[in-house]
Each structure stands twice: as structure tokens, then as C-alpha cells.
Amino acid sequence: MNAALLALIVVAMFAVGYRYYSGFLTRRIFALSDDEPMPSRELEDGVDYVPTRAAVLWGHHFASIAGAAPIVGPAIAVIWGWVPALLWVGLGTIFMGAAHDFAALVISLRHRGRSIGEVAGQVINARTRTLFLVIISFLIWVVLAVFAFIIGTLFRSNPGSIFPINVQILVSMLLGWLIYRRRIPLLWPSLVGYAVLMVAIFYGDSFAAAFPVLGEVSVLTWVWILLVYSFVASVLPVWLLLQPRDYLNSHQLVTGLVALTLGLVFLQPTVVAPALNPNPEGAPSLIPFLFVTIACGAISGFHGLVSSGTTSKQVARMTDARPIGYGGMLAEGSLGMLAVLAATAGFASSAEWYGHYASWGEANGLAAKLGAFVNGGGRFVAALGVPEEAARTFMAVVVIAFAATSLDTGARIQRLVIAELADSHGVPALTNRYLAGALGIAAALLLAVTQGSGDGGLALWPLFGTTNQLVAGVTLLVVSVWLKRLGKPIGYTLVPMALVGSVTLWAMTGNLIRYYGEFERLWLLAISGSVILVLDVWILIEGLRLILGDRGTAPRPGGG
């Protein structure tokens, strides 16, 4: 099968989905209007609440949600065949993931920019708020520890990526200062900044060769550096680093997507993987595990945390929620689609593919998953005439940039979640952004270094897919309860909630049976997974009681 044709089909599906389905949600379900008051203006504080033009905010949102997960998920899920992976990415993005992100953004905007966990407290009850915030905090805790390890690993294996990533930070801060403090129009500084970033990529290998000591820095040291940096990024005003970095980064990431797509068109590679491979050696069953292995590339609870955690505090007008929330997820789905194709058409032959995916154990390692995307994607980009080594460096920078922006945003969201929990439980000291940020990063650092090599977070990473999808299901449940109270149709959020919730509970239960079967070795996964499952079922029961008509004593939701 021609990979370029498959890409064209999926992109066309996304275009139709945005034109018609997101338009329907905008008009008939959420009834968006530019006359509505915006939290970014009502609560403007110059730190978290900052009114931002749609193009800039789209860049922040897309770069934040597009982490490493939509790359590593498809890179292992294709072991079951390219057809189920591509179908889940395409249809899941349109009807579930994009609708989820859009809905999470809208409900937060209608509740003064509060996080989805805080909104759950208003829509369902205060007990649900605490339960949900605990699950959210756990998810981000693991993300921070693991993403720092992923970036550190890529820095260690691709030292040519270190220079462009650090240039990106400095250029972004300069851009933020020029625009917000010097009031210079956005166009020229952003064009110059983008050009500098692209040039830096091609000088990365030369810089690494000039400073060979960079290639000797351990992964553990990088984890320390990255998490300390994340603390700083989480407490700085959003306009100084996070927003301009994500804005510039989004251009770089879109360039990566375009380069991959053009490489596909030029190379016209054939998909060498099987269309369906239902029983690969050592792999769990296709259903339900496909739907939690490819998480962020189709639907992701983490996206709802970004929508309601940072993005909603910067939206300048309500109708911007459609291109940012729904459109941002379509861009993420495009990344998931390209990851599928890189891991199925980026190999020279079917024999080479089967060698890489000989078994679940061999293909499921972090290096194997990242390698499938970096090498396969590098082959596509090299087809455009880019030297092969530079093409691989470019792809490594793209992966690091995706992961780094999620790391920055995740640290900020964790700070806000800790502050919300502290505020609701009478611990005013932890509402201070420096203390809350330090606590979040310290916890992630403790998890990361528990094994002495920076990879401690990998001990809990197997819970990411299921926990992430459970958060997505609960987010859709909260939105469904809110819509019912407003007299709006709830099927467009309730059906995706039922689908993602049921397959995720199925997968989590299957995993827990395996964890308890090897309890002596997997006791941490067994206990942590059990707690997450109990909290999730508890929240589902609370929400479904309201949907089925038992309103209990839950307060009426704010906003409308």
C-alpha cells in the first residue's frame, strides 16, 4: 500500500471533520459567542491569565499536547498491523480526541479558566474534585519523570540536538520580551527567530563535535538539569518563556510534519508492515490494548489538562476555542498518523520490519520505539535532498521539542493542581506558586532518580496509557453532566466517554491481573494501578448518578 496515499486519505478525513463536525459542535452543542466574558481578561494577572492572539495560543496549545506519546505509542502499536492503528488515529481523533479537547477547553472557559479537576467539583461535587485532582497529579507526576528521561536519553544518543534546543530557549525568551515589553509587532521577530532555530539544527552536529564533553553527560545529569529547568519555566510569567517557546516550537514542529509529508509524497514509500497482525509474539490482545497504546495520537486525558490548565487562561475570545481545541488535536492526529507511517513504511523491506518487530519485548523498548520514528522519519526527510545524518538529527530535535514543550506545560499544570488541592484543603502555603512548583518538581525528581540512573519513572510508565485514557473518560463525563444540566444533547460526549471508558477499564483490569500474578516484582504497579482504578470507578459512579437523574446534593455548575 502506498504510504503517501494513506496520508492523503487521513488528512482529507481531518479536513472534513473540522469543517463539519467541529462546526456542528460549535453551533449546536456549545453555542460559542464572541460576546462572552473571557477569564484571560477578567482575571488577567500577567503570570497565568494573559489574553493571547489565536495564532500564538494555537502554537502553545499544539506544542504542549504534542509530546512524545503520539510518537512512541504508534511506534509499538503497529505491531498489530497498520490498518487498526491508522483507523484508530483517524476516526478516534475526529470523533473522540478533538471533541474531548474542544469540550475541555470550553467548559473551563465557562468556569473562569479553572482546571477540569476544579470544574468537576462544581459540576458533580467536592469529593469528586479531590479524587480527580489526585488522579491528574499522579498522571503528570509520571509524565514529568519519564519525559525528562526520554529527553535525556535523546541528548545522550543525539548530542547534535543539544545546541538547537538550548538556542530555542534563549530565542523564545527574547521574543517574549520584545513582544510583551517592547511592544514590537509579532511578524518579523517570529520570522527571524524561526530562521535562527532552523539554522541551529544544521549546526548542532558541529557544535557537539566542538564540545565532545556534551556527549559524555549522563542521562541522570540531564534529568536533573531538565527538571530544574522545568521548575523555572513553571513559575515564570507565561508570556516570557512558555508561550513564545511553544509558539516558535509549533512552527518548527509543523515544519517537521510538512517535511515528513513532502518526503512521503516524493519518496512514495510502500508500507512494508502487514495490514493486520493480530497475534504478535508476546503482545497483549489487540482489543482493548490498541486503544491505550495509541493514546495521545487519538484521544488523551493529558490534552484536557492542557486545555483547562494553561490554554483556557489565555484565550482572548470564545470562538478561538474551535481552532485551538479541535484544530490543535487534528494536528496531533496528523503527528500520530505520520508516526504510524514512519514505523511501517520507513523500513527498507518487509524483512527489516519483521526483524524490528519480531516480538513485543524487542519492539517495546524506549530506544526501539524512538528509533523506529527517528530513522523512518529521517528516511522520508532525506528523500528531499537533506543529508541523511542531518535528517536524523532534525527528527531527533523534533521528538525532543515535542517532549520538552509537554515537560514545560506539565510542570506548570502540576503547580496549579497542587495549588488547587491546597486551597480546597486549607493549606495556604502551597498556593504559593514557588512552593507548589518546587513540590511538583521535587516529587518528579524523586521518582526519576529512584533507580539511580534517571529511569525510575519507567517503573510506573506502564500505567500511563490506561491512566491517561481514564482521565479522558472522566473529563467527557464531567462535560456530559454539565451539558445535561444546561439542557443540551449529551450523546456527542457521552458515547465517546462510554467507549474510551469501557476499553480502558478492560485494559486496566487485564493489566492488574498480570501485575498481581507477579506481585513480588510488580507490586508498585499493582498497588498504584488499583488505587487509580478505584478512584476512577468512584468518580464514574458519582457522575453517572447525576446523568441518570439522581442529582444528590451536588451544587449547580458555574457558568453557562
**What pLDDT, in 10s, does the model give residues 151-203?**
898 888 888 888 988 898 999 999 999 998 888 988 888 899 989 988 888 88
State the pLDDT at residue 470: 94
Question: Looking at residue 530, what is its pLDDT?
Answer: 96
Residue 377: which residues within 8 A CB-CB, separation 6 or more?
260, 338, 342, 346, 395, 398
Contact 499, 99 (CB under 8 A): no
Beta bridge partners of 270: 2
Cell, residue 458: 519507567
* Any domain includes 543: yes
Q: How many CA atoms lie within 13 A of 473 on its CB side?
A: 29
- In a 10 Å sphere around its CB, with 0-12 CB exposed, 13-18 middle and 19+ buried, how is residue 491 labelled? exposed
pLDDT of the residue at 557: 42
Which among 357, 343, 452 is positioned nearest to 395, based on CA atoms? 343
Q: Residues 35, 101, 308, CA angle at the centre, nearest 5°?
A: 65
Per the CB < 8 A criterion, the answer to whether 117 and 37 are in contact is no
* pLDDT, position 560: 39
pLDDT reported for residue 230: 94
CATH code of the domain containing 358? 1.20.1740
Q: Residue 185: what pLDDT?
A: 87
**Residue 329 contacts residue 97 (beta carbons within 8 Å):** yes
* Grid coordinates of 77: 502499536
Domain annotation covers residue 110: yes
Q: Within a 10 A sphere around the Cβ of 228, how many other Cβ atoms?
A: 12
- As for how many domains the chain has, the answer is 1
Residue 131 pLDDT: 93
Residue 530 lies in a domain: yes
Q: Using the Cα atoms of residue 90, residue 67, residue 432 and residue 40 in order, give the sign of their dihedral.
A: negative
Identify whether 114 is part of a domain. yes
Residue 557: inside a domain, yes or no?
no
Asked if residue 69 is part of any domain, the answer here is yes
What one-letter code names the amino acid at 182? Answer: R
Q: What is the pLDDT of residue 556?
A: 44
Nearest CA to 242 out of 251, 230, 254, 252 is that of 230
pLDDT above 90: percentage of residues in the chain: 66
Which amino acid appears at position 370 of this protein? Answer: L
* Cα distance between residue 223 and residue 86, in whole Å: 33
User: What is the model's pLDDT at position 442?
Assistant: 96
* Residue 2: φ, ψ to 5°: -75, 120
Global pTM?
0.90
Q: What is the DSSP letter of 315?
A: B
Q: What is the pLDDT of residue 388?
A: 82
Q: What is the pLDDT of residue 369?
A: 80
- Residue located via cell numbers 559524555: 216
Residues of the chain under the 50 pLDDT cut = 551-560
What letter would DSSP give residue 2?
B
How far CA 131 is from CA of 97, 375, 456, in Å, comes to 23, 42, 25
All residues at 6 or more sequence positions from 484 whose CB lies less than 8 Å from its CB, including other chains? 490, 546, 547
Is residue 363 domain-resident? yes
Res 9: pLDDT: 96
Q: Residue 471: inside a domain, yes or no?
A: yes
Domain of residue 333: give its range. Answer: 3-547
